[in-house]
Amino acid sequence: MAVAIAPPATLPPLPSFSAGVKLVNHEIAPGRYLSPSGAGCSWSRLADLTGSYASFLGRSNGSSGQVVVDILPSDVAFESEGCGAFVRYTPPPTRLVTFGDGTWMVNDQISPGRYESTGARTCSWQRLADLTGTGAGYATAGSAIAEAEVEGSVVVDILPTDVGFSASGCGTWVPKG
C-alpha cells in the first residue's frame, strides 16, 4: 500500500532575520527590508542555491551605513552577512535633513534636492532606479541611474523620480542652495 507524503508546511515569514541564507516565500516574505547595518554588509538575491555566478540576481558587497533592499517574489533565496538584522521597511514620520553613508529612500527618508558631501576621501555615490541590486555589483547596470567615484567633496542633484540614493565614504550629505 502506497503512503502519501504531505508537502512540507510553509512557515509564516519571519518578522526580522539576520545573517545566513533565507528562503523567499517560506522563511521570509518578499518585500522591502531595512538593516541599520554597519561596515562590511554583503547581501545577495538568489535565483537558485547552486552557488553558480548565474545564481546572483542582485547583490551588494561591503556596504556601510544602512541598507534598504527589495526582495522579489521570484527570488528563491536571500543571503546576507555582516548586516545585522533586517526588518520590514516602514517609512519614517519625517525626512532627514542631513544623512551619511548607506542606501536611503528618496521621498521617504530623504528629500529630493541638491546635496553636498563633506567627505575628504574617496566618495562613491549612486542615484537608484530600484533597490534590487541588479548588475555585476550593487546598483550597477540596471539599478543605477547615475554614479560616480570622486576624491573629496561632491555636489549631487537627487531627483524626485529617484527611488533611492546610495553613498559610501562621502561623509555627511547636507542640503546645498
Cα 146 to Cα 128: distance, rounded to the nearest angstrom: 7
Number of compact structural domains in the chain: 2
Residue with cell 556601510: 64
Mean of the pLDDT values across residues 135-158? 75
Question: Residue 5 has what pLDDT?
Answer: 60
Q: What is the largest CA-CA distance in the chain?
A: 79
Decide if 74 is inside a domain: yes
User: What is the domain extent for residue 73?
Assistant: 16-87
Could you tell me the strand order of the sheet in which 41-46 lies?
A: 20-23, 77-81, 41-46, 56-63
Question: Residue 76 has what pLDDT?
Answer: 98
Question: Residue 138 has what pLDDT?
Answer: 45
pLDDT tens digit string along 15-37? 789 899 999 999 999 999 999 87
pTM of the model: 0.85
- Using the CB atoms, write b or e for 100-110: b if 16+ within 10 Å: bbbbbbbebbb
Q: Where are the beta strands (DSSP E) in 18-111?
A: 20-23, 31-35, 41-46, 56-63, 67-71, 77-81, 86-88, 102-105
Cα 89 to Cα 106: distance, rounded to the nearest angstrom: 13
pLDDT tens digit string along 39-95? 788 999 999 999 988 899 988 887 789 999 999 999 999 999 999 999 999 999 999
Chain centroid to CA 102: how far?
Answer: 9
Q: Are residues 74 and 101 in the same domain?
A: no
Decide if 2 is inside a domain: no
Decide if 3 is inside a domain: no
Q: Are residues 98 and 83 in the same domain?
A: no
Decide if 7 is inside a domain: no
Cα 83 to Cα 85: distance, rounded to the nearest angstrom: 7
pLDDT tens digit string along 90-141? 999 999 999 999 999 999 999 999 999 987 788 999 999 999 988 544 444 4
Q: Are residues 103 and 155 in the same domain?
A: yes
Decide if 79 is inside a domain: yes
Q: Residue 125: count other Cβ atoms within 10 Å of its Cβ.
A: 24
Task: Indicate the residue among 33, 55, 87 that finishes a domain.
Answer: 87
142 pLDDT above the threshold of 80: no
Q: Are residues 107 and 122 in the same domain?
A: yes
Q: Are residues 72 and 113 in the same domain?
A: no
Q: Are residues 79 and 102 in the same domain?
A: no
Task: Indicate the residue among 32, 53, 87 that finishes a domain.
Answer: 87
Q: Are residues 100 and 72 in the same domain?
A: no
Contacts 24+ apart (CB under 8 A), 143-146: 143/58
Question: Residue 177 has what pLDDT?
Answer: 80
Residue with cell 554614479: 147
Q: Are residues 32 and 80 in the same domain?
A: yes
Task: Indicate the residue among 87, 118, 139 that finishes a domain.
Answer: 87
Question: Residue 62 has what pLDDT?
Answer: 74
Decide if 146 is inside a domain: yes
Q: Are residues 151 and 134 in the same domain?
A: yes
Q: Are residues 26 and 66 in the same domain?
A: yes
Cα Rg, the chain, nearest whole Å: 18
Q: Are residues 108 and 147 in the same domain?
A: yes
Q: Are residues 164 and 104 in the same domain?
A: yes
Nearest to 131 by CA among 30, 21, 23, 32: 32
